[in-house]
Amino acid sequence: MPGESLTTAQQELYDWLVDFIEDQHHSPSIRQMMQAMGLRSPAPIQSRLRHLQEKGWIKWQEGQARTLQLIEESISGVPVLGAIAAGGLVETFDDVQETLDLNSVLQLKGLFALTVNGDSMIDSFIADGDMVLMEPVNDPSRLRNGTVVSAMVPGLGTTLKHFFRDGSLVRLEAANTAYEPIEIEAEQVHVQGKLAAVWRKT
Amino acid sequence: MPGESLTTAQQELYDWLVDFIEDQHHSPSIRQMMQAMGLRSPAPIQSRLRHLQEKGWIKWQEGQARTLQLIEESISGVPVLGAIAAGGLVETFDDVQETLDLNSVLQLKGLFALTVNGDSMIDSFIADGDMVLMEPVNDPSRLRNGTVVSAMVPGLGTTLKHFFRDGSLVRLEAANTAYEPIEIEAEQVHVQGKLAAVWRKT
DNA sequence: TGTCCTTCAATACATATGTACCTAATTTAG
DNA sequence: CTAAATTAGGTACATATGTATTGAAGGACA
């Protein structure tokens, strides 16, 4: 039945399977699992797979290669869950609940997203691999100091930085002390968008 | 649509592949495609697959069985224009075309949001005031070690922590060295949800 | 302690499977 | 219409792959 607990070896294999399938988008072969687990024989994998299947964590088409699937936990269709999500939750948490309306964000036409490479904004809690939702900027002169923008600097490429205006100059600051600010004439900088939200998938 | 246009035969195969993969959650074998197309020889499938690959509709791991993947196309949501450098160095926009599909997240029934108070998760770049999208958990025994969960601990209230299982115990760790881990019997902890995404409005 | 279950190694086997090659029929493009 | 590209049939082959078997070692637990 689903939810039976796993031994250490079984858990180890299952965790690896989740990772593998998540980024390869297909099932590994038994011998791939064998190598990944550091084993020299397929039998232990067969055993672990059999137990994982009996306990309801995975399934596959017998005799067919690479057809293993994770049995995902069903979110919808469980009556108890609906009750918790709807009413119970509010009572469980003391704080006042607000509504996060992602649709309203989507309706802001022109939003675009960028994948963040590197850690120069780490002190602003924008991490490597995050997605930043950007709102197009038409009039850079109206940007408020400190706004996070994506800007193209000739010779430096496009980067994510805090934007500051300083007379006729523009200063672009990273949120990481390891990086020096960039100062440049305003005309030289092309601000493409300003930060609307940070999105981190997990 | 990905890539160049397809011939009738190629389109027919592609359409069937979409159905099959959506349905079975794994790639069919070449001979399965053969049968489905009503053919008596694998060669035509090989040909169609080669063309589908050259035109950018599919890809697979050569020599490995059932590793075919569809090269997905944008459905709806926010276009991901590329990667941006948050490091010092140059990294202009790539030609990578992805889509941040917020709708798909919204469609996951039961998602709920919490406002983060405090900085106990700051080392995981979840800051005070952020919104975390949580996916309800109805079977805590399936949680993977390290997962960020919202859990209610009797006497301590509801907090956002990294979840670890240690025998019959559950360990809840903050992402901030100023906070001590909590160790408690699994039965005492009520895990309400696991982290689906971090949302930071600006 | 002793028993049962799990894990691991080593080997073996049948076949599922991707791939290659050749030829002919069919479709498409010019 | 002609030539090229695509599609199709047939066959063959190496091997990737799931599966079975046997034996031994390790671990949990009463």
Cβ atoms of B49 and B30 closer than 8 Å: yes
Q: What Rg do the C-alpha atoms of chain B give, in angstroms?
A: 23
Cα distance between residue A134 and residue B181, in whole Å: 37
Question: B100 vs A133: CB contact, 8 Å cut-off?
Answer: yes
Report the nearest residue to nucleotide D15, CA vs C1'.
B63
Both tokens of A26, joined, read 């297909």
Cβ atoms of B124 and B170 closer than 8 Å: no
Both tokens of A159, joined, read 């980067």
User: B98 vs A1, which has greater pLDDT?
Assistant: B98
pLDDT of residue A110: 59
> Does the pLDDT value for residue A160 go beyond 60?
yes
User: B172 vs A197, which has greater pLDDT?
Assistant: B172
CA-nearest residue to A15 within chain B is B144
Q: What Rg do the C-alpha atoms of chain A give, in angstroms?
A: 25
Query: If pLDDT is split at 50, 70 and 90, which confidence band does B156 have?
Result: low
Nucleotides of D under 7 A from a protein CB: 6-12, 16-23
Q: What is the DSSP string of A117-175?
A: ESSTTGGGT--TT-EEEEEE-S-GGGPPTTEEEEEEETTTEEEEEEEEEETTEEEEE-S
> Does the pLDDT value for residue B142 go beyond 60?
yes
Of A31-45, A69-83, A184-198, B142-156, where does mean pLDDT reach its minimum?
A69-83
Cα distance between residue B48 and residue B11, in whole Å: 9
Which nucleotide lies at the shortest CA–C1' distance from B51?
D6
Tens digits of residue pLDDT in A84-93: 112 222 233 3
Cα distance between residue B158 and residue B90, in whole Å: 43
pLDDT of residue A30: 94
Q: Is B47 helix (H, G, I), strand (E, B) or coil?
A: helix
Query: If pLDDT is split at 50, 70 and 90, which confidence band does B71 have?
Result: confident
| C-alpha A189: how far from chain center | 30
The amino acid present at B86, given as its one-letter code, is A
Q: Which of B27, B150, B161, B194 is catalytic?
A: B161
Q: What is the DSSP string of B137-192?
A: -S-GGGPPTT-EEEEEETTTEEEEEEEEEETTEEEEE-SSTTS--EEEEGGG-EEE
pTM as predicted: 0.52
CA-nearest residue to A99 within chain B is B113
> Across residues B58-83, what is the average pLDDT?
70
Tens digits of residue pLDDT in A14-63: 889 988 998 888 999 999 999 999 999 999 999 999 999 988 889 999 88
pLDDT of residue B102: 56
User: A72 vs A36, which has greater pLDDT?
Assistant: A36
Cα distance between residue A189 and residue B155, in whole Å: 54
Cβ atoms of A194 and A135 closer than 8 Å: yes
> Does the pLDDT value for residue B92 go beyond 60?
no
A60: left (phi over 0), alpha (psi -120 to 50) or beta: beta
Cα distance between residue A172 and residue A155, in whole Å: 14
From the number of C-beta atoms within 10 Å of its C-beta (0-12, 13-18, 19+), residue B80 rates as: buried
> Residue A194's beta-bridge partner residues?
A135, A149
Phi and psi at residue A17, to the nearest 5°: -60, -45
> Residue A170's beta-bridge partner residues?
A165, A184
CA atoms within 13 A of residue A5's CA, in its CB half-sphere: 9
* Maximum average pLDDT range among A188-202, B59-73, B153-167: B59-73
**Number of residues that this document lists for chain B:** 202
Q: Nearest-CA distance from A31 to chain B in Å?
A: 12
Of A9-13, A80-84, B12-16, B180-184, where does mean pLDDT reach its minimum?
A80-84
> Does the pLDDT value for residue B98 go beyond 70?
no
Task: List strand D contacts in A 54-113 (CB < 7 A).
Answer: 60, 62-66
pLDDT of residue A3: 53
Q: Which of B88, B112, B139 sits opposite A2 (nearest CB)?
A: B139
- Across chain B, mean pLDDT equals 77
> Does the pLDDT value for residue B77 go beyond 80?
no
Cα distance between residue A17 and residue A23, in whole Å: 10
